[in-house]
Structure 1
C-alpha cells in the first residue's frame, strides 16, 4: 500500500476527501494516510477535545460486540475542554462544523479491539493492541447517498502478509491498522483503504449504560461460560432491554452451532439498536459524558476536516441508505484444518467487492461458478400475523421453479413490508425474487438465515395483496 506518511497527512490543511460549502471540489484523489506500523495510536490535539458526532450513524462503538459504524468526532468550541462540565452549544457547533462535505467515495476499516487483559486502563495504547473482535469495511458513497458495511468474521482464514495463514483477527495484534488494511487487500482484492478507526471493547459497555440500555430480541435462553476469556453469560429469551454488560454477553455468546457468524448477526442487531438510542433527542444532555468515554477508547487517522464531513454525511442518511452484508463463505469442516475457520467464498466475495465497494478490477462471476437464481437456498420467515403465510410463500416459489426453499422460525414481531434479505450481498438475485413475488423490498442486511443465500421475511403486505386490500 503506497501512501504518504502520517506526518505528511497531518500537514495538509484540508483533505481532498472534503470541501467546505464555499470551496470548489477537490480535483486530486484522496491520498491514503497510512496507519503506523507499530501499535501506538496517533492522537491529534483535536482528538483530545473529542465531540459529539459519535451519535449519528449508529456510531462507532460496537466494540466488544462490534466494531462500529463510524467513530466520527467534531471539535468542541474553544471554551469547552474534554473534562469540562459546561453544556454543549449544539447550535454553535452545527454552524461552525457541519459545512464540510464528502466529495467522493471513501473506504474506512473499522475495528473493535479486544482489550489486553493485563493492560493498564490508563494506557489507551494497550487497549488497542489486541485482536479484532469485530472487523468492518465501510464505504461512504456521497454520490449514491449510501453507507455500505461489510462484516468480516473474526475467524476468516486469510493470508496475513509477512505472517502467513491465520485468522484475520490476528492482523491487528501483529501489525496494527496497517497490517489489517494490507490483509484485507491481499485477500479481497486491491480495494483502497483510505482511513481506519479503532475502538476498544470497553467503550461499548459504557456507552450502552449511558444511553439507558438497548432493546433487542434474545431468540432463546443464552447460558455460556468461558473462563479463558472471562465470559459468564446468562440471558433470558424474549425482548429485553440490555445494560452494557448484558449487551456484551449477547454479542459474544458462542454456545450454539452458528459460532462466529451468529456473533456477526447479533453485533449488527445491537448496532441498529444502539443507533436508535443514540438518535433519540433525549440523549443530547448526555453528550459530554459520551464524549469523555470516546476520548479513552477511540483511535483514528481521520483528519478534523474529514471527520466533520463524515458527520454531515451521516446526519443526512436515512434508514434505507444503510447496507450491511457479511463476507460470503462457509464454516470449515471438522478435521479440515487444525483450527475452526470461516472459509470465504472467493467468487461471491469478488461480487460483493464489485457491487458494494466499486472494485471494478475484480473478476466477475463466470457462467461456470455462478448458480442460477432458482438453485439458491432461500429461507422463508413469517413476520406477519398470518400463521400460514411462510408456507404459502414457499409453496409459491416452488411452483415457480425454485428448488431449495425452506421455512424457518418466525421473526419476532411483525413488519409491514415483505423483505428479501441479501445477507451475502447478492442484490441481483434478491431483485429477481421480488419480481417473482410481485412485492417486497430488497434489503442488504446480515440478519437473514445463516444457512441461506436469501431470506424472505414475509410482512403484512403479502396477506393484503392476496385479498386485494391495502
Structure 2
C-alpha cells in the first residue's frame, strides 16, 4: 500500500492540475452534453483592444479589456445536433444599417450599442436568428492556440509587418507549419496583401478549421481543460447552460465544418457591400432550419385582448429572433388566445400561453395568432 500511495497521489495531483483551469467555466456553464431539437446559432466576435492614449509612455499600453471596442472578426457559427457546423464570415468593413445610428461599418456596432446591437445588425443582415454571442479579446487567439498545442496550417505567402504602436510583429515564411499563439495572432491580423479584409477572412477560416481539427483529435482531449480555461479568461458571453449542453452534444457528434463568406463586392471607401440575393440563397441552403418557427411568417391579430397587445407580442417575438412578425386586422371576438398553422405548437411555447387549434390562418401567414381575453395587460 505504501508503494502505491505516492504514485496514486502523483496521478491525482496531475489530474487536479489538468482540470484546474476549467473550474471557473464549469462553475458557471457546466452542463452535460444533450441532443438539441434544433441548431444553436452563436455570433463569434473578436474585439480589438483599446490603448491608453493619455499614458506617459510610448507605445501606449493596452487598457484593461472591457469588450466594448471595435470587432475585428465576425463569424456566425451554427451548430447542428449531428455535428455539422456552418460558419459564415462577415468582413469587418461590411456596410450596414446600424439601427438607431445610421449607416456604417459593421465593426462599429459593438462600440455604439454593445453586443445587443451587434446581434440585431447581424440578424437584420442575414435573416438568421442568433441564439447567443461570444465576445473574444485579443488574447483569446494566443491563449487558445497555446492551449491546444499550436495549430498546423499552410501559410500562403511571406508575411512581414511591424507595428510598434500596436505591439504587433509578424514574421512568417510561406509553407505548412505549426504556429504557436503569437504567430497565429499575426497570421490572423495581417492585412498587407492585395485582398485586404477578405484575405483576413480567408485566414480566419483556415485557422478555425485547423483549430477544430486539433480539438477533434482524441490525442488532444487531455488539453480540453486548458482550452476551456483559455476561453473563459478571454471571453464575455450570454450562453446558457442549456446552450452549452447543446454545443457539447454537437461536438460529440464529430464536428464537420463548412465555411462561407458573406457574398458581396467592394464599395466606396474600402467597404464591403452585401449581395443580398446571393446571401439569401446561401442562408436558405445552409442556415435555415425548416423546423425553426423564427424563420416563418407569423401574423398577429388582436381579437379580444387589451389595446397594444399585438405590438407587445411582436416586440417579444422579435426579441427571441423571429424575423417576420406582422400585425394584421381581423374581427373582434371573445374567447381565449389561439395559435394555428405550421409550427403553431413551437410558437405557442415561445409565447407562453394560448392554445393550438386547426382553424384556418390568414392568407400568406405560416402561423396565425389570435389574441384573446386571456392576454394580460402590461
Shorter chain as denominator, the TM-score bin is 0.5 to 0.7
Aligned match of 2:40: 106
Within 2, Cα distance between the matches of 1:121 and 1:230? 10
Within 2, Cα distance between the matches of 1:231 and 1:354? 39
Of 343, 367, 392, which aligns to 2:273?
343
Of 182, 206, 209, which aligns to 1:272?
209
What's the TM-score once normalised by structure 2's chain length?
A: 0.63
Higher RCO (CA-CA < 8 Å; seq separation 6+): 2
Aligned match of 2:24: 49
Aligned match of 1:232: 169
RMSD: 2.8
Residues 227 and 166 of structure 1, relative CA distance in 2, 3 Å threshold = farther
Within 2, Cα distance between the matches of 1:111 and 1:172? 9
Aligned match of 1:375: none
Within 2, Cα distance between the matches of 1:225 and 1:259? 17
Of 125, 149, 152, which aligns to 1:215?
152
Within 2, Cα distance between the matches of 1:288 and 1:105? 25
More helix by percentage: 2
Aligned match of 1:164: 102
SS at match of 1:347: helix
Residues 330 and 318 of structure 1, relative CA distance in 2, 3 Å threshold = same
Q: Does 1:312 align with 2:242?
A: no
Aligned match of 1:116: 50
Aligned match of 2:117: 179
For residues 196-230 of structure 1, the C-alpha deviation after alignment (integer angstroms, 9 at most, x for no partner) is 12221201102212332211111221112345544
Within 2, Cα distance between the matches of 1:232 and 1:205? 14
Within 2, Cα distance between the matches of 1:289 and 1:187? 35
Shift of 1:283: 3.0
Shift of 1:303: 1.3
Shift of 1:258: 0.6
Count of residue correspondences: 264
SS at match of 2:273: strand
SS at match of 1:115: coil
Residues 290 and 139 of structure 1, relative CA distance in 2, 3 Å threshold = closer
Within 1, Cα distance between the matches of 2:87 and 2:258? 6
More strand by percentage: 2
Aligned match of 2:287: 357
**Is the CA contact 1:74–1:97 (under 8 Å) kept in the aligned structure 2?**
no
Following TM superposition, where does structure 1 have runs of at least 4 consecutive aligned residues deviating by more than 4 angstroms? 119-124, 359-362
Shift of 1:342: 1.1
Shift of 1:239: 1.4
**Is the CA contact 2:40–2:243 (under 8 Å) kept in the aligned structure 1?**
no
The 5 Å alignment of 1:394-405 reads: none
Q: Does 1:97 align with 2:27?
A: no
Aligned match of 1:327: 262
Aligned match of 1:463: none
SS at match of 2:103: strand
Shift of 1:289: 3.1
**Is the CA contact 2:85–2:255 (under 8 Å) kept in the aligned structure 1?**
no
SS at match of 1:133: strand
Within 2, Cα distance between the matches of 1:120 and 1:278? 33
What's the TM-score once normalised by structure 1's chain length?
A: 0.52
SS at match of 2:212: helix
For residues 107-152 of structure 1, the C-alpha deviation after alignment (integer angstroms, 9 at most, x for no partner) is 221111112234998955x1x112111111122333x753211111
Within 2, Cα distance between the matches of 1:242 and 1:236? 11
Shift of 1:341: 0.8
* Gap regions ≥5 residues in structure 2: 1-21, 53-59, 290-294, 298-378
Residues 123 and 291 of structure 1, relative CA distance in 2, 3 Å threshold = farther
Within 2, Cα distance between the matches of 1:228 and 1:171? 25
Of 238, 249, 261, which aligns to 1:301?
238
Within 1, Cα distance between the matches of 2:80 and 2:36? 8
Within 2, Cα distance between the matches of 1:259 and 1:155? 10
Within 1, Cα distance between the matches of 2:36 and 2:45? 22
